[in-house]
C-alpha cells in the first residue's frame, strides 16, 4: 500500500470508528437490547442501566432453537463449498475458452439469478415431493445452490478476466495442464474473490426463509429463520428474546468472517502481475 | 433363477413380519401455537388419546400461526396437506370453497351415538356461522375468543371520571379517551393501521352502528350512513390525539405491550391479556377492570375469534383422523387443553363450568353471546380470508391519515370488496 | 511461483500447450461448465417452464381446485391492473434508490477501509453485520428506532424537521424513502467487501506512475481507481439491484406494504396474489413479466462495463 504518515493513518482510523459506529447503530441497539430486562427495552431510555442474560437463557433452553442452529450451519457451509466448487470451473471456462454455446450457457446461468423465489416455489416443492425429499436438508441444500451460484459465476469470471492469460500460458508451456494452471496460478490470485463468493453463498443460505418454509415442517430439520419466526407468537411476544435470537443468528456468520478475514482483506500476491 | 426365488421368498417373509405393524395408522396433525404451555397441553391430549386408541398414532407438527396461510396454500397447490390441522375461523369458508375440506357430519353423528351427546347444539352461535356451510359441518371448534374493554380505574379517577362507569357506547368511549389522555398516557390503545387488530376492534363499531359488510344483493353493503358514522367515531379517537400518534402504522402486539407497560388507559383485548398482566406482576394490576365492549346505537357486537380442527379431504386416514378431532374437541380432553392453554373452549356447556367461572372469564363468556362474524348477518363467504387482510383497514387508515374523506374511503372500500367478490 | 513469473518477459504468442489433461481440450470447457449448468437447469429452467405454463392457466383456487387452460387470460388481466403497474413503478424507484444508497455509502467506506491498520481490518469484518442480520430482526429494530414515543432516531429526525409528531412510517412518501434507505443500508456491506477486493487488486505501480506524472489525489482517484473498479461496480451493482428488485421481507415487516400501498412493491404484490388472493396463475404471469423487464434492464446495465 502507498506510504502515508502514521498521523494520517491514526486520523483515518478514528474516522473509521465513527463511520462504523454510525453504520452499526441499529445493530448495536439490538445487541444492547438483548441484555436488558424486558421493561427497560421499551421504557427505560437509551442508556442501559441494568444487565440481564435472562433472554439468552430462555432461548438457549429451547431445544428446537439449538437444533435449528446446527441445521443452518450444516446447510450454509455445504452450500458455500458446493457453490464455489461449481462456480469456479464454470467461470474459468467462460473466461478463457471460446466454445460453441458459450454465450448461451453464460446467459443461462446468469438468467437463473433473475428468477424470484416466489415464482419457482411451487414447482420446486412439487419436484422435491416427487423425489421424496421433503423435510430433508439435502433438498434445501440443492435449492439454495441456485441462490448464489449465478452471481458467483459472474463475479469470479470478472476477476478471472482481469488476470492476464500470459501467466497461465507460460505455465502451460512449462508443461502444466489447463486444470493445473487453474489450480496453481489463477486460484491463488483470486483467493479474495473466492472467499467473498463463498461467504456470499453462505450468508444467502443462512438467511433464506421462503424455501425452508415450503420444504420443511419437521422440528428436527428446521433452520434458524424458521425457528426465529416461531418466537413471534402474538400472545407471548418478548422483545428481549427476539433480540437475543437475532444476535445469536448474526454471530456465527460474523465469526466465520473474522476467521477468513485475512484471506479476504489481505493478500493478493504482491507483484504477481508484474509484467 | 435361484436369486430371483430367494428375492421373492425374502419379500414374502418381510411381508409377513411387517403386516402386523401396518395395522397402526398415523395421523399427521398441524398445530399452530408455539407457546410452551399449549404444546405441553397438546402432547398430554395426544398421549391420552393414543392410550385409548393403541392403533392410532398422532404425529404433531408445529406450524406457527404466522406461517399457516403460506404452508397451507403451498400444500394445497403442491401436495403435502396434513390429515388434521387447526385453521383460522374465517378461512374455513375459503378452504371449504376450494374443495379442500371433508365434511364432518357423519363423524358428529357417530360420536353422538357413542356418547349420547349433541355436539352440534354445543357450538357457540357465532361459530355456527363460520363452521356450518351449505348445510354441513366442516370444522369442530377448539377455541373461541372475544374482546372486552380493559380499563384503568386509577387513570379514570385521575381524569375526573367515575371508575365504576366505564364507557357503554362508542361515542362515550371516544369522549372518555380524550379526557384520559394526559400526563404521558394515552386514552385508548386504538389501532388505525393495516394490522388485523384494527379490523378486530373496528368491527364492534360498524356492527354496533348497524352497518353490514354484505348487502341483501350479495354486494358490498358498507356504503351507508351507518357505516360512515361508525368510521367517523372510530377515527375521531386518532384525530383527537387520544391514541398513540403512530396508531396508523403500529401493530397489535405493540399496543398490547403498551397497555402492559402502562401507557394506555383503555384497550379492547382478549382474556389472555389479564393472565399476561398477572405474569408481568404489573404494579397497576389491582386497578385493572374489565367491561363489555362498547355498543353502538343499534346493538352491542363483539369480535369472534377462535379456531377449530378441520379434516382435510386429501387425507387417506379419515376415520382415524376424525376420531382424533372429535376426541380433542370435546369432553375432558378439551377441558384440559383449554384450561392449560388459558383460553375459552369452543363448547357452550364446558364454558359454563370451572374454571371459566373465575375472573375474568365470566364476562368474556357472557360477551360471547354477542360475538359475531365480520359479515354478519350474511353467511360466511370464502373471500373473507382475503378481505380480512387489509381491505377495511385501508379505509380506516386513509381517513385517519387525512388522505381520504369518509365518503371517499367508503366508496373505495366498496369498489375493492365488489372487485374481490366478483372474481 | 516466482520463478515461473520471471520467465514471462514481454508478450508471448499463445501457443498450443502439450495437452496433459484427461479430457481432450475440446470437451474441457463443457466439462467445466457442466455442473453449474445442470444446477441452473434443474432449479431454474424447469420451474421457469412450469411458471410459464402456469401463467397460461386459469386457476383461482377459491373456485376450482385444479388449473384449467386459460390462454392469455392472466396477461390481459395484468395489463388492466393499474395497481400492479403502480407497484412496478415503485419497484423501479425502489431498486434504483437502493443501489444508489449502496454506492453512496460503500465507496467512501471501502476507500477508508483500504488500509493496513488493525482497525481497518477489524472494521472490514464488522461491517458485515447489517448484511447477515435477518430481516425480521432488522425490521423490528428499525421500527423501534423510528417509534415516535421511544425511538432515538425519530427524536433526531424530529429535531432536524424531517419527522412530525408521528413516526415517518406513517407518511407514504417518507415511509417509502426510509425503507429504501434501510434496504440500501443492509446491502452496503456486500458492496464494500467487493470494492475492497477490487481496490486491493489495483497494482501500486499505477498510482506511483500517476504521482510521478504529477496527478493529485482526486485525479488519481478518477483516472486510476475508478476505471479499475468500474466493472466490479457494474457487476455487483447489477447483482444488488436484482436482489433489491425482488425484496419482500423488508417492506412487509416494516409496513406490510402501507401506508395505503405506498410501499407495495412487486414482491409484495406477488405474495398477496399467491397466498392471500389464492391466484397462483396470476402470480406466475407477474413473475414472467418481471423476468422479461429485468432481463432487458440487465442487458442495458451490462453495456456500462469497460471492455478491457
List of residues 6+ apart from B212 with CB closer than 8 A: B221, B222, B375, B376, B377, B378
**Contact between chains at C62 and B249 (C-beta distance less than 8 A):** no
Describe the strand order of the beta sheet including B288-291 as a list of residue ranges.
B186-188, B264-269, B148-152, B288-291
Q: How far is CA C232 from the centre of its chain?
A: 13
pLDDT of residue A59: 78
Instruction: Please give the model's pTM, rounded to 2 decimal places.
Output: 0.78
List of residues 6+ apart from B291 with CB closer than 8 A: B148, B149, B151, B166, B363
Domain residue ranges in chain C: 2-44, 86-302
**pLDDT tens profile A66-115:** 888 889 889 999 999 999 999 988 888 888 888 887 888 887 877 777 67
Apex C23 CA angle, C17 and C25, nearest 5: 40
pLDDT at C38 over 90: no
Q: List C-alpha distances in Å: B46 to B64, B111, B328, B351, B374.
A: 19, 18, 8, 22, 33
* Block residue for cell numbers 376426541: B327
pLDDT of residue C20: 46
For residue C228, the number of C-alpha atoms closer than 13 Å in the C-beta half-sphere is: 20
pLDDT at C242 over 90: no
**pLDDT tens profile C71-111:** 888 898 888 888 899 999 999 999 999 999 999 999 989 88
Note whether A254 contacts C: Cβ–Cβ < 8 A. yes
Domain residue ranges in chain A: 54-274
pLDDT of residue A51: 80
As a whole number of angstroms, the distance between CA A228 and CA A230 comes to 5
Chain B: closest CA distance from residue A58 (Å): 12
Among C29, C116, C233, the strongest candidate for a mutation testing the A interface, having the largest count of A CBs within 10 A, is C29
Peptide bond into B281 cis (omega under 30): no
**pLDDT tens profile C194-210:** 888 788 777 778 888 88
**pLDDT tens profile A4-13:** 678 888 888 8
* Block residue for cell numbers 504482491: A270
Q: How far is CA A96 from the centre of its chain?
A: 27
pLDDT of residue B10: 47
- Residues from chain A that touch B65, judged by Cβ atoms under 8 A, are 233-234
pLDDT at C140 over 60: yes
Q: Report the CATH number of the A54-274 domain.
A: 1.10.3720.10
**pLDDT tens profile A251-263:** 776 777 667 665 5
pLDDT of residue B324: 94
Question: What superfamily would CATH give domain C86-302?
Answer: MetI-like (1.10.3720.10)
As a whole number of angstroms, the distance between CA B346 and CA B126 comes to 11
pLDDT of residue A170: 82
Number of A/B CB contacts below 8 angstroms equals 62
Chain C: closest CA distance from residue B340 (Å): 30
pLDDT of residue B52: 92
Higher pLDDT, B37 or A265: B37
Mean pLDDT of C53-79: 84
Nearest CA in chain B to C257: B194
Compute how many other C-beta atoms are within 10 angstroms of the C-beta atom of residue B89: 27
pLDDT of residue B190: 95
pLDDT of residue C4: 42
Q: What angle do helix axes C280-302 and C73-80 make, rounded to 10 degrees?
A: 70
For B309, phi and psi rounded to 5 degrees? -105, 140
- Residues from chain B that touch A232, judged by Cβ atoms under 8 A, are 64, 66
pLDDT range class, residue A232, cuts 50, 70, 90? low
Nearest CA in chain A to C105: A23
**A4-18, B231-245, C159-173, C255-269 — most confident range:** B231-245
Higher pLDDT, C24 or B82: B82
Q: Is the ipTM of this complex over 0.90?
A: no
DSSP for A178-219, written as a single string? HHHHIIIIIHHHTHHHHHHHHHHHHHHHHT--HHHHHH--SG
Q: Which chains touch B (3 or more CB pairs under 8 A)?
A: A, C
**Contact between chains at A213 and B261 (C-beta distance less than 8 A):** no
- Residues from chain A that touch B63, judged by Cβ atoms under 8 A, are 217
Enter the C-alpha cell of residue B195. 394490522
pLDDT at C1 over 50: no
**Contact between chains at C136 and A225 (C-beta distance less than 8 A):** yes
Q: What is the mean pLDDT of chain C?
A: 80
- Residues from chain A that touch B197, judged by Cβ atoms under 8 A, are none
CB-nearest partner of C134 from A42, A145, A249: A249
Q: Are C192 and C127 in contact (CB under 8 A)?
A: yes
Where do the H-state alpha helices sit in B217-330? 225-239, 252-260, 272-280, 318-328
**What are the pLDDT tens digits along chain B (423 aa)?**
445 444 444 444 444 444 444 568 899 999 988 777 888 899 999 999 999 999 999 999 888 887 788 888 888 877 789 999 999 888 899 899 888 999 999 999 999 999 888 989 999 888 888 899 889 999 999 999 899 999 999 999 999 999 999 999 999 999 999 999 998 899 999 999 998 899 999 999 999 999 999 988 889 999 999 999 999 999 999 999 999 988 998 888 889 888 988 999 999 998 888 888 888 888 999 999 999 999 999 999 999 988 999 999 999 999 999 999 999 999 899 999 998 888 899 998 888 888 888 888 999 999 988 888 888 888 888 888 888 888 899 999 999 999 899 999 999 999 999 988 888
Note whether B257 contacts A: Cβ–Cβ < 8 A. yes
pLDDT of residue B18: 43
Higher pLDDT, C190 or B408: B408
> What is the b/e burial string over B203-213, where b = at least 16 CB atoms within 10 angstroms of the residue's CB?
bbbbbbbbbbb
Using the Cα atoms of residue A200, residue A205, residue A208 and residue A210 in order, give the sign of their dihedral: positive
pLDDT at A272 over 50: no
Among C149, C251, C270, the strongest candidate for a mutation testing the B interface, having the largest count of B CBs within 10 A, is C149
Enter the C-alpha cell of residue C212. 510521478
Mean pLDDT of A149-158: 80
**Contact between chains at A254 and C112 (C-beta distance less than 8 A):** no
Amino acid at each position: 500500500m502507498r506510504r502515508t504518515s502514521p498521523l494520517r493513518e491514526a486520523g483515518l482510523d478514528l474516522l473509521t470508528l465513527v463511520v462504523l459506529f454510525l453504520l452499526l447503530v441499529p445493530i448495536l441497539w439490538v445487541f444492547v437490547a438483548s441484555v436488558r430486562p424486558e421493561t427497560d427495552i421499551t421504557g427505560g431510555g437509551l442508556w442501559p442501566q441494568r444487565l440481564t442474560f435472562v433472554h439468552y437463557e430462555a432461548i438457549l433452553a429451547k431445544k428446537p432453537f439449538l437444533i435449528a442452529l446446527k441445521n443452518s450451519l450444516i446447510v450454509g457451509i455445504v452450500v458455500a463449498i458446493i457453490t464455489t466448487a461449481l462456480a469456479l470451473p464454470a467461470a474459468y471456462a467462460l473466461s478463457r475458452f471460446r466454445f460453441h454455446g458459450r454465450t448461451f450457457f453464460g446467459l443461462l446461468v446468469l438468467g437463473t439469478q433473475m428468477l424470484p423465489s416466489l415464482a419457482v416455489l411451487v414447482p420446486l416443492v412439487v419436484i422435491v415431493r416427487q423425489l421424496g425429499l421433503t423435510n430433508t436438508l439435502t433438498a434445501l441444500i440443492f435449492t439454495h445452490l441456485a441462490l448464489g451460484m449465478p452471481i458467483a459465476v459472474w463475479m469470479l469470471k470478472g476477476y478471472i478476466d482481469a488476470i492476464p492469460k500470459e501467466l497461465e500460458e507460460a505455465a502451460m508451456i512449462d508443461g502444466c495442464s489447463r486444470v493445473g494452471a487453474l489450480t496453481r496460478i489463477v486460484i491463488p490470485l483470486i483467493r479474495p474473490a473466492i472467499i467473498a463468493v463463498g461467504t456470499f453463498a453462505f450468508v444467502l443460505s443462512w438467511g433464506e426463509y421462503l424455501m425452508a418454509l415450503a420444504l420443511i415442517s419437521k422440528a428436527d430439520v428446521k433452520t434458524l429463520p424458521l425457528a426465529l419466526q416461531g418466537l413471534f407468537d402474538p400472545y407471548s411476544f418478548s422483545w428481549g428474546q427476539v433480540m437475543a435470537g437475532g444476535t445469536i443468528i448474526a454471530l456465527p456468520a460474523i465469526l466465520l468472517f473474522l476467521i477468513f478475514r485475512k484471506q479476504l482483506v489481505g493478500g493478493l500476491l504482491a507483484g504477481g502481475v508484474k509484467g | 433363477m435361484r436369486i430371483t426365488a430367494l428375492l421373492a421368498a425374502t419379500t414374502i417373509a418381510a411381508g409377513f413380519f411387517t403386516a402386523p405393524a401396518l395395522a397402526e395408522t398415523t395421523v399427521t396433525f398441524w398445530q399452530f401455537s408455539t407457546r410452551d404451555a399449549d404444546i405441553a397441553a397438546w402432547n398430554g391430549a395426544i398421549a391420552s388419546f393414543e392410550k385409548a386408541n393403541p392403533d392410532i398414532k398422532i404425529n404433531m407438527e408445529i406450524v406457527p400461526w404466522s406461517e399457516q396461510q403460506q404452508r397451507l396454500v403451498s400444500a394445497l397447490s403442491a401436495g403435502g396437506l396434513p390429515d388434521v390441522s387447526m385453521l383460522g375461523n374465517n378461512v374455513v369458508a375459503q378452504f371449504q370453497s376450494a374443495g379442500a375440506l371433508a365434511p364432518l357430519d357423519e363423524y358428529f353423528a357417530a360420536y353422538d351415538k357413542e356418547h349420547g351427546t349433541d355436539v352440534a347444539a354445543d357450538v357457540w352461535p357465532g361459530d355456527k356461522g363460520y363452521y356450518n356451510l351449505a348445510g354441513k359441518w366442516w370444522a369442530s371448534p377448539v377455541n373461541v375468543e372475544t374482546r372486552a374493554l380493559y380499563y384503568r380505574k386509577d387513570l379514570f379517577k385521575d381524569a375526573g371520571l367515575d371508575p365504576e362507569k366505564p364507557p357503554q357506547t362508542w361515542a362515550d368511549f371516544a369522549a372518555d379517551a380524550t379526557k384520559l389522555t394526559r400526563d404521558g398516557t394515552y386514552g385508548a390503545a386504538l389501532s388505525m393501521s393495516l394490522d388485523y387488530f384494527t379490523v378486530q376492534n373496528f368491527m364492534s363499531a360498524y356492527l354496533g352502528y348497524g352497518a353490514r359488510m354484505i348487502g341483501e344483493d350479495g354486494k358490498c353493503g358498507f356504503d351507508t350512513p351507518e357505516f360512515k358514522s361508525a368510521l367517523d367515531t372510530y377515527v375521531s379517537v386518532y384525530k383527537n390525539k387520544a391514541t398513540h400518534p403512530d396508531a396508523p402504522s403500529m401493530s397489535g402486539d405493540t399496543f398490547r405491550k403498551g397497555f402492559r407497560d402502562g401507557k394506555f388507559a383503555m384497550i379492547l383485548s382478549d382474556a389472555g391479556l389479564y393472565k399476561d398482566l398477572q405474569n408481568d406482576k404489573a404494579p397497576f394490576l389491582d386497578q385493572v377492570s374489565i367491561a363489555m365492549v362498547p355498543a353502538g346505537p343499534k346493538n352491542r357486537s363483539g369480535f369472534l375469534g377462535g379456531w377449530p380442527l378441520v379434516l382435510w379431504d386429501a387425507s387417506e386416514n379419515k376415520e382415524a383422523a376424525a376420531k382424533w378431532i372429535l376426541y380433542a374437541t370435546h369432553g375432558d380432553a378439551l377441558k384440559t387443553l383449554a384450561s392449560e392453554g388459558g383460553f375459552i373452549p369452543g363448547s357452550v356447556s364446558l364454558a359454563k363450568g370451572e374454571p371459566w367461572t373465575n375472573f375474568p372469564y365470566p364476562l368474556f363468556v357472557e360477551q360471547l353471546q354477542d360475538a359475531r362474524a365480520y359479515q354478519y348477518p350474511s353467511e360466511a363467504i370464502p373471500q373473507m380470508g382475503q378481505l380480512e387482510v387489509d381491505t377495511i383497514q385501508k379505509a380506516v387508515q386513509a381517513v385517519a391519515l387525512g388522505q381520504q374523506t369518509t365518503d371517499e374511503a367508503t366508496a373505495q372500500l366498496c369498489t375493492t370488496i365488489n372487485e374481490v367478490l366478483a372474481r | 511461483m516466482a520463478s515461473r513469473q520471471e520467465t514471462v518477459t514481454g508478450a508471448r504468442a499463445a501457443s498450443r500447450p502439450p495437452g496433459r489433461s484427461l479430457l481432450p481440450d475440446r470437451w474441457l470447457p463443457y466439462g467445466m461448465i457442466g455442473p453449474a449448468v445442470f444446477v441452473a437447469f434443474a432449479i431454474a429452467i424447469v420451474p421457469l417452464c412450469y411458471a410459464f405454463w402456469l401463467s397460461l392457466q386459469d386457476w383461482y383456487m377459491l373456485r376450482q381446485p385444479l388449473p384449467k387452460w386459460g390462454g392469455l387470460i392472466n396477461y390481459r388481466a395484468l395489463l388492466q391492473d393499474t395497481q400492479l403497474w403502480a407497484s412496478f413503478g415503485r419497484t423501479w424507484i425502489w431498486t434504483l434508490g437502493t443501489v444508489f444508497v449502496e454506492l453512496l455509502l460503500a465507496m467512501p467506506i471501502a476507500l477508508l477501509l483500504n488500509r493496513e491498520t488493525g482497525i481497518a481490518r477489524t472494521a472490514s469484518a464488522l461491517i458485515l453485520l447489517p448484511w447477515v442480520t435477518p430481516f425480521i430482526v432488522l425490521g423490528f429494530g428499525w421500527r423501534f428506532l423510528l417509534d415516535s414515543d421511544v425511538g432515538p432516531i425519530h427524536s433526531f429526525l424530529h429535531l432536524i424537521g424531517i419527522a412530525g409528531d408521528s413516526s415517518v412510517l406513517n407518511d407514504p412518501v417518507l415511509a417509502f424513502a426510509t425503507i429504501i434507505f434501510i434496504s440500501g443500508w443492509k446491502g452496503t456491506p456486500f458492496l464494500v467487501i467487493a470494492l475492497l477486493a477490487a481496490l486491493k487488486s489495483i497494482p501500486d505501480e499505477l498510482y506511483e506512475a500517476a504521482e510521478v506524472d504529477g496527478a493529485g489525489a482526486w485525479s488519481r482517484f478518477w483516472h486510476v481507481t475508478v476505471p479499475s473498479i468500474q466493472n466490479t461496480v457494474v457487476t455487483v451493482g447489477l447483482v444488488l439491484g436484482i436482489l433489491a428488485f425482488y425484496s419482500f421481507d423488508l417492506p412487509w415487516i416494516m409496513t406490510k406494504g402501507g401506508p395505503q400501498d405506498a410501499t407495495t412493491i412487486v414482491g409484495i404484490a406477488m405474495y398477496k396474489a399467491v397466498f392471500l388472493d389464492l391466484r397462483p396463475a396470476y402470480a406466475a404471469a407477474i413473475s414472467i413479466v418481471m423476468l422479461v423487464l429485468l432481463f432487458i434492464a440487465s442487458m442495458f446495465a451490462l453495456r456500462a462495463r469497460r471492455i478491457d
